[in-house]
Structure 1
Amino acid sequence: MKSIIVSLFVLLTAVAVRAQENNLHAQSTIYEWPSDPLVRQKLDKWQDQKFGMIIHWGIYAVPGIIESWSICNEDWISRDSTVTYEDYKKWYWDLSKQFNPVNFDPEQWAQAGKAAGMRYLVFTTKHHDGFAMFDTKESDFSIAKGPFATNPRADVAKYVFDAFRKKGFMIGAYFSKPDWHSQYYWWSKYATADRNNNYDIRKNPWRWSMFKQYTFNQISELMHNYGSVDILWLDGGWVRPLSTVNDEVRAWGAAIPAWDQDIDMTKIADMGRKAQPGLLVVDRTVHGPYENYQTPEQRVPEHQLANPWESCMTLGGAWGFVPNDQYKSARQVIHTLAEVVAKGGSLLLGLGPQADGKMPVEVVRRMEEIGKWTSRNGQAIYNTRITRAYKDTNTWFTQSKDGKTVYAVYCIEGNQVPKSITLHANLPGKGSTIKLLETGKTLKWKNVDNAVEILLPQNLPSSLPALALAIQTKK
């Protein structure tokens, strides 16, 4: 079995990035605004936050491989051909016996997020492999039942949520609707052909009814036992009513069974909102009343969107921890953040702690680098809304919620701060003031043809990734 571990470690680390690309969720093209005033109020608050952290952490951190997907039997997934599928699954499930994060440090994670300027959290309470990162009573396959069970912090989700709440974060619980470890979803009577449940629900209604109750009960535990939760972030969009399968879903290229994988989202949402008034339910890709905001994955929409959305993107090449991952630079993240916010969205950045419970040193360092910019220029990002003209070459525009201030974020390519910035949109009127947020100083500007030239100080650090300007037009 040791040889299996070594060979699969090398193979699955190498294909992690490719695997992410084969499994992306595009956002729905249909959006339905929630009718519940408490949900709309929470949604407005969420839209003020703009920058969040999504944490993938589970037994896949032990060998440092892609989360869950390596046990799915689909043709885009690569495994060692000398190892049988059943042996591989057994090896993977048995990682639960090794997962003992004795250095579990959610305070480090929360501090890193705070330092970066992040303001909301989405934590993976259970991924598709079914391993619960909370003390569920519905299954023994959880962090609280293995080697970590005797640790005072064995109920991991509780301490993660607490640490981030203390830093002022909105709290989101990621939960996978499919559960590949459950006999109610992948029944061992049959082979596991793909990501879907592996039996005909029409012929086995009792078994699916048990899965629905199991899912409801686990989500109920999260809604009732873990303090204030703002977002229920549901993944695994193939678990959905058959009536909602449209061309967008078919374009994923995954098999679509002939039966209905409906888990009764109305019942789940009603329960969740009774326990957590105003709860945002994000049933990814399932357009309708329970997709309160859309979640394009690993990309930014081409154009500005008026409805609520977030781009969920990895800092490195994988969602979870992978050794020697290549992380995006602080400059890349800041430029993406400016673009996302100007287009009306929020950026949810994916990070993965190591198996021992610590966030990688390089990730913490990157968070600090991002925070050097957001701490001085966040006024152009947080609590803002879209402007009609939202881009001018390298410049992205936002505005304050009251519309009194327009912000321009000029993204710098390379390490050369220009002597001036020329704007062709959102031009200030006569008597307006333009302030450089990095220094707080008022800048000189002049009209040039149908544009405005803004003169910049000559002593700015060459390493600045972007310059944020506050434009207040005199009425």
Structure 2
Amino acid sequence: MHKNITPFKLIALLSAFLLNGFWAAAQVHDISKKYHKPTDAAVLKKLDQWQDLKFGLFMHWGTYSQWGVVESWSICPEDEGWTQRKGPYGATYNGYVKAYENLQTTFNPAKFDPDKWVKAAEHAGMKYVVFTTKHHDGFAMFDTKQSDYKITDAKTPFSTNPKANVTKEIFSAFKKKDFMIGAYFSKPDWHSKDYWWPYFPPKDRNVNYDPAKHPENWNKFKDFTYNQIQELMTGYGPVDILWLDGGWVRPKATIDTAVEWQRTIQFDQDIDMPKIVGMARKNQPGLIVVDRTVPGEFENYTTPEQEVPEKPLSYPWESCITMGNSWSYVPGDHYKSAHDIIGLLVKIVSRGGNLLMNIGPGPDGDWDPEAYKRLDAIGNWITINGEGIYNSRAVAPYGNGNVYYTKSKDKQIVYIYVLANDKTKAIPAEVNIDLPGINGVKKVTLLGAKQSLKWKKSATGITVANYATAYNKAGLLEAGCIKIEYK
């Protein structure tokens, strides 16, 4: 519990805790049905490098962390579980929005220390970071010149802090440790008078006027969006990924009416992505662009949300999943166990994807202590077992029960991950491993163990007879990794 919590804040926190089950679904996006492979050689090269990294850090952070409520969505006038407005300000929509936007005047995350985050993320084996420079509510976590609704404005108490431009500080701190840098940016901006024009009330998440009828407003919004992205592409050092959210801002021709939320898009919301990306890549050559859910040349990888595809996909992809129940900070949030996160990582990598794990910083500028505990445990595991995670690719049969397969990108090595039982943490005494198309096994070892493995050929591969003995003797936890070298 934080100091100086008003009665409303207390009500909001308790309500948020009860509602956080909805939040995980608040932005569920169906992944695009078609993938368009980039043709830019520099983009293809960076995509290949990104696919080698496997494990990234996502951070949703904004003024909303002070109330412990869902990021942005509580000001959206839709009657969904994740858009509810609680407490005395929730009696009227306009009153709530006014109070929400007034959070700018109390936002002072004095414990902000990105170097602390880098240390924990690096130990956990994370290799890239994606940070919310601006979410749908329009509050900029960077020093934009296009708006005063930002962390560096004089109305924000934290603006006097030497680290007030948190986006610049985060990018700089992580780049020093060779992380790939990703800028999350919301295409819709619910604070912009040229997106939600005050002449009309907002009706839902979409633009509240017809851009075709009022092109002057829409062109101003396009310029506003272009200029903010240009700021991020020119004033914040090397940026590797432009991660664009808010897929309802899209050309009308790309709407998929089979997807429920896309059926609410009434107007053409084309913001001229070719112009934006052309500028962005001129300043950041090879930039990976993720215009999520909008199939085409600007969705360089897809982003299944809060889920793991049941089978490998034929193109680059990344599951973005919360460490807790919520994308944003919630006091007392329930964090996934290290065992479950390791299991997610192994399953995702075995199917050829990356895991982008989200942690929401709190209003004081730090993570919940539980997040650090999880990262420490994951790091202890990955120090031993990371060899088969990084620079790997999917290989048949991918997975069978609690057994998952990866293959070295450039060596004749297959890695077999054997997850401990979710509840009992029990492991099998022996492991049957299918090796279709692989002959001439040279060596079989268990990462982190000194004891030799006893194995023999089977009809479809090999059987390791003393797996449990070797695993227990080495003091391994959560999941073991059998390394198979072949000719």
Tell me the TM-score range normalised by the shorter chain.
over 0.9
* 2:260 match: 251
The CA deviation string for residues 313-339 of structure 1, in whole angstroms up to 9 with x for no partner, is: 000000111011001111111111111
* 1:470 match: 483
* 2:48 match: 44
Is 1:112 the counterpart of 2:116 in the alignment? Answer: no
Decide whether aligned partners of structure 1 residues 247 and 359 sit closer, same or farther in structure 2, where only a CA change above 3 A counts. same
1:224 corresponds to which of 219, 229, 234: 234
One-letter identity of the residue aligned with 1:299: E
Q: What is the aligned residue count?
A: 472
Shift of 1:2: 4.9
1:92 corresponds to which of 93, 96, 100: 100
Moved more, 288-297 or 452-461: 452-461
SS at match of 2:11: helix
Shift of 1:79: 2.3
- Tell me the distance in 1 between the aligned counterparts of 2:437 and 2:256: 43
SS at match of 2:395: coil
Is 1:301 the counterpart of 2:309 in the alignment? Answer: yes
One-letter identity of the residue aligned with 2:75: I
- Tell me the distance in 2 between the aligned counterparts of 1:107 and 1:148: 18
Shift of 1:178: 0.4
1:400 corresponds to which of 394, 405, 408: 408
User: Is the Cα contact below 8 Å between 1:406 and 1:426 reproduced in 2?
Assistant: no
The CA deviation string for residues 170-228 of structure 1, in whole angstroms up to 9 with x for no partner, is: 00000000000110111122111110011121111000000000000000000000000
* 2:59 match: 55
* 2:71 match: 67
Is 1:20 the counterpart of 2:29 in the alignment? Answer: no
Moved more, 183-192 or 15-24: 15-24
User: Is the Cα contact below 8 Å between 1:316 and 1:325 reproduced in 2?
Assistant: yes
1:32 corresponds to which of 23, 29, 36: 36
One-letter identity of the residue aligned with 2:235: N
- Tell me the distance in 2 between the aligned counterparts of 1:141 and 1:304: 42
One-letter identity of the residue aligned with 2:306: Q
One-letter identity of the residue aligned with 1:252: W
Decide whether aligned partners of structure 1 residues 294 and 261 sit closer, same or farther in structure 2, where only a CA change above 3 A counts. same
1:389 corresponds to which of 361, 373, 397: 397
* 1:80 match: 86
User: Is the Cα contact below 8 Å between 1:233 and 1:281 reproduced in 2?
Assistant: yes
User: Is the Cα contact below 8 Å between 1:428 and 1:471 reproduced in 2?
Assistant: no
- Tell me the distance in 2 between the aligned counterparts of 1:209 and 1:440: 65
- Tell me the distance in 2 between the aligned counterparts of 1:366 and 1:285: 31
One-letter identity of the residue aligned with 1:229: V
- Tell me the distance in 2 between the aligned counterparts of 1:196 and 1:450: 54
- Tell me the distance in 1 between the aligned counterparts of 2:463 and 2:481: 15
* 1:195 match: 205
Is 1:171 the counterpart of 2:177 in the alignment? Answer: no
Percent sequence identity is 47
SS at match of 1:190: coil
Shift of 1:254: 5.9
Moved more, 448-457 or 223-232: 448-457
SS at match of 2:244: strand
One-letter identity of the residue aligned with 2:434: H
Shift of 1:89: 0.6
Is 1:453 the counterpart of 2:463 in the alignment? Answer: yes
* 1:184 match: 194
- Tell me the distance in 1 between the aligned counterparts of 2:111 and 2:91: 32
- Tell me the distance in 1 between the aligned counterparts of 2:428 and 2:113: 42
1:373 corresponds to which of 372, 381, 396: 381
1:364 corresponds to which of 359, 362, 372: 372
Decide whether aligned partners of structure 1 residues 200 and 430 sit closer, same or farther in structure 2, where only a CA change above 3 A counts. closer
Shift of 1:363: 0.3
- Tell me the distance in 2 between the aligned counterparts of 1:461 and 1:403: 26
The CA deviation string for residues 33-70 of structure 1, in whole angstroms up to 9 with x for no partner, is: 00000000000000000000000110011111110000
Moved more, 265-274 or 12-21: 12-21
Shift of 1:450: 4.1
User: Is the Cα contact below 8 Å between 2:449 and 2:471 reproduced in 1?
Assistant: no
Tell me the TM-score normalised to structure 2 length.
0.93
User: Is the Cα contact below 8 Å between 2:109 and 2:365 reproduced in 1?
Assistant: yes
- Tell me the distance in 2 between the aligned counterparts of 1:10 and 1:253: 32
Decide whether aligned partners of structure 1 residues 403 and 390 sit closer, same or farther in structure 2, where only a CA change above 3 A counts. farther
- Tell me the distance in 1 between the aligned counterparts of 2:183 and 2:134: 9
- Tell me the distance in 2 between the aligned counterparts of 1:287 and 1:460: 50
Shift of 1:5: 3.5
- Tell me the distance in 2 between the aligned counterparts of 1:3 and 1:253: 38
Q: Which runs of 5+ in 1 are unaligned?
A: none
SS at match of 1:432: strand
User: Is the Cα contact below 8 Å between 2:136 and 2:188 reproduced in 1?
Assistant: yes
Shift of 1:109: 1.1
The CA deviation string for residues 269-320 of structure 1, in whole angstroms up to 9 with x for no partner, is: 0000000000000000000000000000000111111200000000000011
Shift of 1:440: 5.9
Q: Which runs of 5+ in 2 are unaligned?
A: none
One-letter identity of the residue aligned with 1:348: L
Superposition CA RMSD, Å:
1.8
- Tell me the distance in 1 between the aligned counterparts of 2:408 and 2:175: 26
* 2:346 match: 338
Shift of 1:376: 0.8
Shift of 1:393: 2.1
SS at match of 2:364: coil
SS at match of 2:24: helix
User: Is the Cα contact below 8 Å between 1:131 and 1:142 reproduced in 2?
Assistant: yes
Shift of 1:15: 1.4
SS at match of 1:33: coil
Is 1:11 the counterpart of 2:15 in the alignment? Answer: yes
* 2:277 match: 269
